[in-house]
Amino acid sequence: MTYKDEKGIHTDFKERMTYGDYLDLDSILNAQHRLSDHHDEMLFIIIHQVSELWMKLTLHEIRAAITSIKDENFDSAFKQLARVSKIQNQIIQAWDVLATMTPAEYLEFRDHLGQASGFQSYQYRMVEFALGYKTPHVLKIYEKDEALHQQLQEAYEAPGLYDVAIETLAKSDFDIDSSVLQRDLTKTYEANESVEKAWIEVYRNVDKYWDLYELAEKLVDIEDWMQQWRFRHMKTVERIIGHKKGTGGSSGVGYLKSVLDHYFFPELWNVRSKL
């Protein structure tokens, strides 16, 4: 069968919405504004724009999962968190494409970036906040945009994915320290013995606590992918600029290596050694 044989295909869109209209493709495809004439700057821009779109969807799903967990709607939460893991895989693959750019090619347009840097990605900070990694100093970057700064402040103060998971442990009659349940949510989460004991009990009684067990494994999936993303980011930067400072003023590879040692959900990793 050929195109000519498809009699039902719509071709008159003078008064109808097209695929391009629905997706606002004119805006998306005209959003790549190179500051140099170098061929590879287009690659650099598109990789980062696509990653930001994936992060937008990641936040959409994490926020929904937080609500689902609060409502004890675990089936929905599991689907939303599984989708986050698939999105993370897509973002990781993007580094392989960016890594086709050589150091010499990047140097041709790097100076045009000024102090602009992925370090300033506010959506990435919101993802970190949602996973419980709270870094107050980054909020200063966004003070010039009052509305955006307010969004970030709200995300910074809001309970994250792990906070609602721990609340669910408490609802399931596990003895969770009040210092954890009433903790200052603007502080980065730190491991707690009562939470660790609860997760150990969940893993030792999978049939009894199936929903909690499945939730724990979904969280481990997300942290695993997050750390793989961080590693690929670090190695791609090292491959392209070595150990030079980042355009945003960070130490570059040194900073990216330091965050690899951070755990979002520490007890879920400690459990592996304790079982």
Binding residues for substrate: 44-48, 106, 110, 247
Q: What angle do CA 124, 129, 135 make, to 5 degrees?
A: 90
Distance (Å, whole) CA 2 – CA 11: 16
Question: Which two structure tokens, joined as six digits, stand for 125?
Answer: 């900070």
First and final CA of the chain: distance in angstroms? 60
Q: What angle do CA 227, 81, 228 make, to 5 degrees?
A: 15
Are 122 and 148 spatial neighbours (Cβ–Cβ below 8 Å)? yes
DSSP 92-148: HHHHHHHTTS-HHHHHTTGGGGTT--GGG-HHHHHHHHHTT---GGGGGGGTTSHHH
Task: Could you list the residues known to form a binding site, using ranges.
Answer: 44-48, 106, 110, 233, 247
Task: Could you list the residues known to form a binding site for heme, using ranges.
Answer: 233
Question: Which two structure tokens, joined as six digits, stand for 42?
Answer: 């287009």
